[in-house]
Structure 1
Amino acid sequence: MTSHGGSTDVLKQVSHLWSVLDSLSENDPEAYGRFIENQMKAGVEFSAPPELHSCLRTQIEGPNKGSSYINICSWKRVPAPEDPNRPLPMCAGKLETDTNEDWYTVSDVAVNPAVLQEHEDKTEVYMLALSFAQKHFGIRLSQQYTVVSCSPKSSPDDLYRRLGFQQWANASKQPDTASQTPGTLLQKISSLRLETQNEDTKAQIICRPAEHKKTDLIQVISTTSTEPQKPEYQLEMKTDASGVLRCLELTVELPKICSVSDCQLRISKDDILLEVEDVYYLLLEFPKTVNEDTASAIFNKKKRRLTLRVDVL
């Protein structure tokens, strides 16, 4: 049986904070304004996306041979180090492998912007990133690297996808605090804090040993706790009355989501990618070339089913 004690405690805390803010807005409007401003600023910083800082290229020594590209990213969601004697927080996204021509991998290691600003010589950060990537992905990397201008698949969308960043739909909108009550603002602040806590519970911590040891100087901040699963799907080829193929219809069962806004869909003339962060991942090649501009999708909330249709060329 699932306990709802945690939810009840949160609601009690929210109710208490609501009362405190109502009182604060009446008795000390300036303090109330500063509090709201600080909370909104923290929310904007937490929702800021990762940014590419530099890229390392090195060689994979095992279990396979090839090149490895490691994107060093600046991300405010990764905590700043508390002091030089504590582990350096880092997080990594998914490892991508490409075997079309030369075999290579692409990965991303993110740190807080303050780390890159404070280290004029990035050598230590780069070496820690190499060590982190080796242990995190289970590959052996050469400790000799080259800083290159960019890696394959290093667009912002690629970084967001691998690091699990999900941009808020209203992140670019300024909150209209003047027309909102303390209660509605508090609800948004509470939601933000709960999401932050949920992210924190997924962190996997590796503590740094004593200073005289030379291993494990990294605190790992994981963006995902489980691998997303491949959803059940059905792909049908639809023909007209004369038997000519006109369109493809893809039906995907998504019982774990409630809204199509949770899905990220990318379609090209050759394939379709469906992602729900930490839940579902489906990359499917079309049997025929399609006209991606004709694609349309409908999500049935009752059946939790996504249906996509697209014309073939």
Structure 2
Amino acid sequence: MSSAGGAEDVWQRVSQCWSVLDDLSRNDPAAYRALIQKQMEEGAEFTAPPELDSRLCTEILEPTKGLLYINICSWKRVPAPQDPSKPLPLCAGKLETDTNKSQGSYTVLDVALNPAVLKESTKDKTEVYILALSFAQQQHGLSLSQKYTVISFSPKSSPDDLRRRLGLRQWPDTSKLPDTASQTPASLLQQIASLRSEKQDDDMAAQVICRPSEPKKKDLIQVISATFVQPQKPEHRLEVKTDTAGVPRSMALTVELPKVCSMSECQLKISKDDVLLEVEDVYYLLLEFPKTVNEDTASAIFNKKKRRLVLKVDVV
């Protein structure tokens, strides 16, 4: 009963909306046209594709060596930052890896920010570049070179490539839509809905992700290095424990973390094949196990006095 009532309420509101538009189109055609045109323009602006702003190139050191190209894009769909002290929204597409004869293996990543962010950093985009590199390293488990280069060309950076990796479909050309004054309210509502429905596109590959952004300081740009600081690979030791017959039964990974005060600073991810340990901007360790392990048996203990992490896991 409640579902039927809810559906009836929706249809009643839609009918009322159509009725209001019908009355407006008959009594004030100019106002009707202006209202519809505004709605169409807002929908078209939201669905405008990202625009390429600049390109970076750096080297991937781990897990697989190769070049990484990052396309910095301007995109109105990404929210503008509301407060310099709050996280800075960015949007990233899927990683795409390919090879060619001259470069060998390379990877492409698209990172989009609100146009206001890029406009504010027109003279020096160092902060934006460091943010993009940090995102690639932290979100995709990449270990990158300490140096990057701003380039004028990168592979697979055409508008169609950006749309594909960001999960966008080709948007309708609103300039070719029929004259709004000659259309019925129902048909116009359908067109507006088709433009705005992309807001709930569940198939989008891109997701808005917030990363901390420090408040602006007067001399912030002057003190930032032009190179990307790579987290250190900590000292570690991996031991395979065997039984009396010499059969591997478990593994113990010991990691020295002198710059860490608490286990809460560590991000630890383990699979049957490898383990990833990250301490933001400080340490990064990606290690493959010599034997397949049962990740459900993993346990980790951090010794605050010795600043040492010990991970134990059983071998399958």
TM-score, normalised with respect to structure 1: 0.57
Separation in 2, partners of 1:164, 1:198? 9
Matched, 1:103 2:105: yes
Counting aligned pairs with the same residue, the percent is: 67
Q: Deviation string for 1:31-79 (max 9, x for gaps)?
A: 4333212111112212322221110011112111221000111222323
Question: For residue 63 of structure 2, what is the amino acid of its counterpart?
Answer: P
Give the conservation status (yes or no) of the 8 Å contact 1:14–1:190.
no
2:268 counterpart residue number: none
Q: Secondary structure at the match of 2:147?
A: coil
1:177 aligns with one of 176, 180, 189: 180
Q: Secondary structure at the match of 2:160?
A: helix
Q: Secondary structure at the match of 1:103?
A: strand
Q: State the Cα distance separating 1:12 from its structure 2 match.
A: 4.6
Matched, 1:54 2:54: yes
1:116 aligns with one of 115, 118, 131: 118
Matched, 1:186 2:189: yes
More strand by proportion, 1 or 2? 2
Q: Which runs of 5+ in 1 are unaligned?
A: 213-313
Q: CA RMSD in A?
A: 3.2
Q: Deviation string for 1:282-304 (max 9, x for gaps)?
A: xxxxxxxxxxxxxxxxxxxxxxx
Give the conservation status (yes or no) of the 8 Å contact 2:86–2:213.
no
- Return closer, same or farther for 1:5/1:164 CA change in 2, 3 Å cut-off: farther
Separation in 2, partners of 1:6, 1:162? 38
Give the conservation status (yes or no) of the 8 Å contact 2:49–2:75.
yes
Rg comparison, structure with higher value: 2
Separation in 2, partners of 1:176, 1:122? 42
Q: Secondary structure at the match of 1:64?
A: coil
Separation in 1, partners of 2:76, 2:213? 27
Give the conservation status (yes or no) of the 8 Å contact 2:47–2:195.
no
Q: 1:67-78, aligned counterparts within 5 Å? A: 67-78=67-78
Q: Secondary structure at the match of 1:145?
A: strand
Q: Deviation string for 1:157-187 (max 9, x for gaps)?
A: 2222212221134445143112102222122
Question: For residue 118 of structure 1, what is the amino acid of its counterpart?
Answer: E
Asked which structure has the greater RCO (Cα within 8 Å, sep 6+), the reply is 2
Separation in 2, partners of 1:111, 1:5? 42
Q: Secondary structure at the match of 2:40?
A: helix
Q: 1:131-142, aligned counterparts within 5 Å? A: 131-142=134-145
TM-score, normalised with respect to structure 2: 0.57
